[in-house]
Structure 1
Amino acid sequence: MRGGNGMGWLLLGLAIALELSGTVSMKLSESFTRVVPSVLMFLFYGASFTLLNFALGYLEVSLVYAVWSGVGIVLIAIAGYFVFGEKLPMSSLLWIGVIVAGVIGLNISQNGH
């Protein structure tokens, strides 16, 4: 691992934002029936995986993947609620809280080593 965890976190944050954009584009593509969101989906996911790969040069793979997937799940659930009007029952909010707690816990345990 190279030094510069700040750069790793920056790359990871950008990868998460692009993954969220890719997932929103996937929904907007309406099963590949709309060209622009379909193309954007591939571009966003490709850029997300590229930045995720670079983040792995600075941070541990277990931390990177857990944060990327966990934060992505939370953000897309929030986007689904606000952008697409999807329902978020209380039980879903509880499990999203468990995901957040897991990501925070993993980060704390990684920082302790």
Structure 2
Amino acid sequence: MKYLFLGLAIVLEVIGSSFMKASDGFTKWLPSTIVIIAYITCFYFLSLALKTIPLGVAYAIWAGLGIVLTAAVSVIIFKQKMDLAGIIGIVFIVAGVVIMNFFSKTAH
């Protein structure tokens, strides 16, 4: 259940970030409302995950996957370009999350 809660928190954070872009600086009411609801719900599920997952591990996964998914949304939905340096940076973030989860005693 803990990783389901973390997964929901990640998806909702990506939704919130994506609609923040669509809100045009909070000038459009519907995307702005979705941002607020998505982030409140995101932090609720993150708090549930934090009951059993160490903070550093949960936050690394949440932030890392959030960055990767938000970057994917920006390329696919908003047609923003990703250069080689950006791709390499995202690969390093993913590598850090993998290393932390599989090789660090912090994750256990």
**Band the TM-score falls in, shorter-chain normalisation:** over 0.9
Helix, strand or coil at the partner of 2:77: helix
Contact 1:63 1:110 in 2 (8 A): no
Amino acid at match of 1:61: L
Amino acid at match of 2:95: A
Letter in 2 for 1:80: S
Gaps of 5+ in 1: 1-6
Specify the alignment match of 1:102 in structure 2: 96
- Give the corresponding residue for 1:81: 75
Deviations 1:42-100 (A, max 9, x none): 00000000100010011111100111011101110111001001110011100100000
Q: Aligned partners of 1:8, 1:110: CA distance in 2, in Å?
A: 18
What does residue 19 of structure 1 align with?
13
Distance 2:107 2:16 in 1: 33
Contact 1:15 1:47 in 2 (8 A): yes
Question: Partners in 2 of 1:14 and 1:23 — Cα distance?
Answer: 14
- Does 1:47 find its partner at 2:41? yes
Partner of residue 85, structure 2: 91
Q: What percentage of aligned pairs have identical amino acids? A: 39
SS of 1:84's equivalent in the other structure is coil
Task: Tell whether 2:66 aligns with 1:72.
Answer: yes
Q: Tell me the residue number matched to 1:4.
A: none
CA distance in 2, matches of 1:111, 1:73: 22
In structure 1, the partner of 2:29 is: 35
- What displacement does 1:33 show? 1.2
> Does the aligned pair in 2 maintain the 1:29–1:35 contact within 8 Å?
yes
Provide Cα deviations, 1:4-32, integer angstroms capped at 9, x if missing partner.
Answer: xxx11110000000000000110010111
Question: 1:31 aligns to what SS in structure 2?
Answer: coil
- What is the SS of the residue equivalent to 1:93? helix
